[in-house]
Amino acid sequence: MDWENKTIGFAMCGSFCTFKKALGVLNSLTQTGANVIPIMSEMSYETDTRFGAAKDFIERVTAMTGNEIIHTVKDAEPIGPKGLLDLLVVLPCTGNSLAKIAGGIADTSVTMAVKAHLRNQRPVLLAVSTNDGLGNAAKNIGALLNSKNIYFLPFAQDDCQNKPCSLVADFDKLQDAALAAFEGKQLQPLLGL
């Protein structure tokens, strides 16, 4: 695949415990030669947590990609009319953003980016990370599995004893899932045994 001719949106939602891992796969993605446009939800752009300070993540994401971070609805909107992206990755994707995307709500930078990008009938790749993946969010995952131009990174339960409804995507499958999505396919297996 000719990554160097691709422009890929990399959108991060507020699953802060996965940010360290997310930055690792973001770094690998930039090393393919693709032009990576970073997007952070308002929550992830503005919130310091025990997993790190927002300022530090912002600096690292900007340095890795060499591009300014889109972090407002206003700045995400042109993704549609400009046809800016070949692929939009949402990694990590929270239960909150899953619900909004499934419900057609676009009131954050990330959900607006998804809406704007889908208008161009190009692929979106979701990497779920949510404690209610097999609970309240399951219906939204189901709806999105059945939606045109939306694909998932393979996911699994991450701690079935202590968090029986929790699901997390296998972030390391990002590039394989992207290659499949560019061909209009869902990377398989979606669920492991």
Ligand X SMILES: Cc1cc2nc3c(=O)[nH]c(=O)nc-3n(C[C@H](O)[C@H](O)[C@H](O)COP(=O)(O)O)c2cc1C
Residues that bind ligand X (CB under 6 A): 13-17, 41, 43-44, 49, 94-97, 108, 110, 129-130
Q: Which residues of 39-78 are buried (b: 16+ CB within 10 A; e: fewer)?
A: bbbbbbbeeeeeeeebeebbeebeebbebebbbebeebbe
Distance CA 25, CA 140 (A): 25
Neighbours of 10 (CB within 10 A): 28
Q: What is the CA radius of gyration of the chain?
A: 15
Min dist CB 9 to ligand X, Å, is 15
Nearest approach in angstroms of CB 17 to ligand X is 5
Q: Which CB, 3 or 92, lies closer to ligand X?
A: 92
Select 45 or 151, whichever has its Cβ closest to ligand X.
Answer: 45
Of 65 and 96, the one with the shorter C-beta distance to ligand X is 96
Between 50 and 148, CB nearer to ligand X: 50
CB of 109 to ligand X, least distance (A): 8
| Partners of 124 in the β-ladder | 88, 150
For the chain, count helices (H), then strands (E). 8, 7
Distance CA 42, CA 49 (A): 14
Least gap, CB of 122 to ligand X (angstroms): 21
Tokens coding 106: 């676009």
Rounded Cα–Cα distance for residues 178 and 168 (Å): 17
C-beta nearest to ligand X: residue: 14
Cβ proximity to ligand X: between 30 and 96 the closer is 96
In whole angstroms, the minimum distance from the beta carbon of 119 to ligand X comes to 20
